[in-house]
Amino acid sequence: MVQTVSTYANKKRVIMLMIDSLMYPPLEKAVKEGSAPAFKFFMENGKVFPNIVSPFPTMSVTVDSSLLTGTYANIHKIPGLVWFHDAEKRLINYGSHIRELIKLGITRSIKDIVYHINNHHLSKEIKTIHEEMSSRGKATASINALIYRGNTEHYLKLPRLLTLFTSLDDEWKTKGSQLFTYGSFSRLSPLKRNGYFWRKYGFNDRFSAQELKYLIKTDSLPSFTIVYFPDMDKIVHKNGPMDIKGIRKVDRQLQNVLDCYDSWEEALKDNYWIIMGDNGQAPIDSDRNKALIDLRRSLRSYQIMTLKDGVKDGDEVVLGVNERMAFIYTLNLERAPLSDIAKTLQKDNRVDVIAWLEKGSVHVISGVQQGRLIFKLNGTLADEYEQSWDIEGDLGILNLTVKNNKIFYDEYPDALARLYSSLTSHEGNYLVVSAKPGFEFIGEGSPTHVGGASHGGLHKQDSLVPMIITGTDSSPKHLRMIDLKDWILTLLVNPR
């Protein structure tokens, strides 16, 4: 049952639409061709920021965690889509591919995806925007967002098909925003359509739009609503970064949402609209042998943990593959030291960033060029985000420029903070590797996107997303995903 939030009827609200894999160049193309009238309407009635920096790795769960907490992964503790839990000695996978989930154990994997990520893995030391707003007496809504933690208790009802062949309970208690949709597991609208298993149990654009329209039509919009539109990700993966089919499809859903109002202009009156992508995607070469960096083959001199068996005696290395990025863990620093693994990977010129932590400093080498860059937090050089660093070695490894004690980024936006945060995001001894555009990593059962596009990497093609804002002349302190939470709170608590 939806509670009508009448207390906020006369106050401006934030409606945030997160569109998976939305990028500026194809968006601009679609608008120019007349294929995206709703996007065009928002852009003409607001401000457009083409290049917001996404967190690293550029995978949805890490991005969403950073957006909701205003922090990188070293604080919120969701390191990536796939990562190794050192204390539990097991690989966590939030849904890379069904092949990997089955090998890891489907019951355990579903628990991680549906329950543990929000209730156990996301750090309790930092509040989400839902928790912050709740503590200020303001309601929020989360529609189909993967990260949703709030202060209100809800029940997730698992579909019968998921409980029939597993040992999973059919109902789980969780904490989310006051108004909460998580596919057909927890819904606001009484409508049954778009939520069946052949529609991904409601994790689709139509279902997301349906739930938002219900809040609008019942005058139930709270102070802050985040809505996740997932469908475009798959289309871009298959067809490449400049394909606009996904933009046309999601635009039709945005048109349906705007049509809930007497006029599209009416939709702008009492709402701030924030419409943005979560991560970019880099093109992947169409030659399979060239495009795919098989880490099992590259590191065949080490004993690599298999997904089905988990960690067993003699295993030396664990692979946590996140498409164009990977965590590579050593289980034995003597037999498989990080520096040796790094040197092995450096022989492959498709790998452009290889980084690890050593005595408090980050060491970075590359398969593209010789040399080494070493950097440390809190130094004498400042970057454009007011972060300070000490740097020595070859700046070209991360395409950095230093002028007058100021650091400038280019190919790898906010590279120092994003690498540092990834290397301090969870326990264990590991390397972080990122692939050049054109290539992606594979492990035992990884998804592949040959001839299409992929993400996860540190490169700007993976890392820059557009944002459209209506209803305010203000903007975040810096154009990074982690700066949005504080800015949104300012909009809602002390609007300008």
> Are the C-beta atoms of residues 208 and 22 closer than 8 Å to each other?
no
Same domain, 178 and 230: yes
Same domain, 184 and 43: yes
- Look up residue 43 and give its two tokens: 């852009």
1 residue type, one letter: M
Whether residue 115 is contained in a domain is answered as no
CA-nearest of 11, 6, 7, 3 to 180 is: 3
The DSSP code sequence of 49-60 is EEEEEPPSS--H
Contacts with 48 (C-beta within 8 Å, 6 or more apart), sequence order: 466, 467, 468
Distance CA 204, CA 181 (A): 12
Contacts with 393 (C-beta within 8 Å, 6 or more apart), sequence order: 371, 372, 373, 374
Q: b/e per residue, 120-134, with b = 16+ CB within 10 A?
A: ebbbeebbbbbbbbb
- Look up residue 75 and give its two tokens: 């604080």
Distance CA 263, CA 175 (A): 36
Distance CA 378, CA 197 (A): 50
The DSSP code sequence of 114-151 is IIIIIIIIS-TTS--HHHHHHHTT--EEEES-S--EEE
Distance CA 207, CA 191 (A): 10
Same domain, 249 and 293: no
- Look up residue 344 and give its two tokens: 């092995």
> Are the C-beta atoms of residues 2 and 214 closer than 8 Å to each other?
yes
Same domain, 330 and 424: yes
User: Could you tell me the sign of the dihedral formed by the alpha carbons of 256, 261, 267, 271, in that order?
Assistant: negative
CB count, 10 Å around CB of 193?
11
Whether residue 105 is contained in a domain is answered as no
Distance CA 157, CA 187 (A): 10
Distances (CA, A) of 243 to 20, 42, 284: 14, 21, 14
Q: Collapsing DSSP states into helix, strand and coil, what is residue 335?
A: coil
Question: If you ran DSSP here, which 8-state letter would residue 185 be given?
Answer: T
At residue 34, φ and ψ (nearest 5 deg) are 80, 20
Same domain, 415 and 487: no
Whether residue 309 is contained in a domain is answered as yes
pLDDT of residue 199: 59
CB count, 10 Å around CB of 53?
23
- Look up residue 132 and give its two tokens: 């912050």
Helix (H) or strand (E) run with residue 319 in it:
strand 317-322
Same domain, 56 and 182: yes
Distances (CA, A) of 450 to 230, 345, 358, 388: 21, 21, 35, 39
Distance CA 228, CA 143 (A): 6
Q: Could you tell me whether strands 440-442 and 292-294 are parallel, antiparallel, or unpaired per DSSP bridges?
A: parallel
pTM of the model: 0.94
CB count, 10 Å around CB of 440?
31
Same domain, 442 and 464: no
Whether residue 190 is contained in a domain is answered as yes
Same domain, 273 and 373: no
pLDDT of residue 350: 98
* CATH number, domain with residue 236: 3.40.720.10
Whether residue 103 is contained in a domain is answered as no
- Look up residue 302 and give its two tokens: 């080490």
> Are the C-beta atoms of residues 432 and 73 closer than 8 Å to each other?
no
Whether residue 95 is contained in a domain is answered as no
**Helix and strand counts by DSSP (H, E) for the chain:** 18, 24
Domain that holds residue 352: 288-452
Same domain, 257 and 311: no
pLDDT of residue 336: 95
Contacts with 408 (C-beta within 8 Å, 6 or more apart), sequence order: 383, 384, 400, 401, 402
Question: If you ran DSSP here, which 8-state letter would residue 306 be given?
Answer: P
Same domain, 276 and 295: no
> Are the C-beta atoms of residues 214 and 189 closer than 8 Å to each other?
yes
Whether residue 239 is contained in a domain is answered as yes
Whether residue 462 is contained in a domain is answered as yes
pLDDT of residue 164: 60
Distance CA 148, CA 126 (A): 13
User: Could you tell me the sign of the dihedral formed by the alpha carbons of 482, 486, 492, 496, in that order?
Assistant: negative
**Residue at token pair 């650091």:** 407
Helix (H) or strand (E) run with residue 290 in it:
helix 288-291
Same domain, 190 and 227: yes
Structural domain count, the chain: 2
Distance CA 435, CA 447 (A): 15
Distance CA 484, CA 467 (A): 11
Same domain, 322 and 448: yes
Q: Could you tell me whether strands 224-229 and 140-143 are parallel, antiparallel, or unpaired per DSSP bridges?
A: parallel
pLDDT in tens, the chain (496 residues): 444 443 444 489 999 999 999 999 999 999 999 999 999 999 999 999 999 999 999 999 999 999 999 999 999 999 999 999 999 999 999 988 888 888 888 888 888 998 999 999 999 999 999 999 999 999 999 999 999 999 999 998 877 666 666 666 677 899 999 999 998 888 888 777 665 544 566 789 999 999 999 999 999 999 999 999 999 999 999 999 999 999 999 999 999 999 999 999 999 999 999 999 999 999 999 999 999 999 999 999 999 999 999 999 999 999 999 999 999 999 999 999 999 999 999 999 999 999 999 999 999 999 999 999 999 999 999 999 999 999 999 999 999 999 999 999 999 999 999 999 999 999 999 999 999 999 999 999 899 999 999 999 999 999 999 999 999 999 999 999 999 999 999 999 865 5
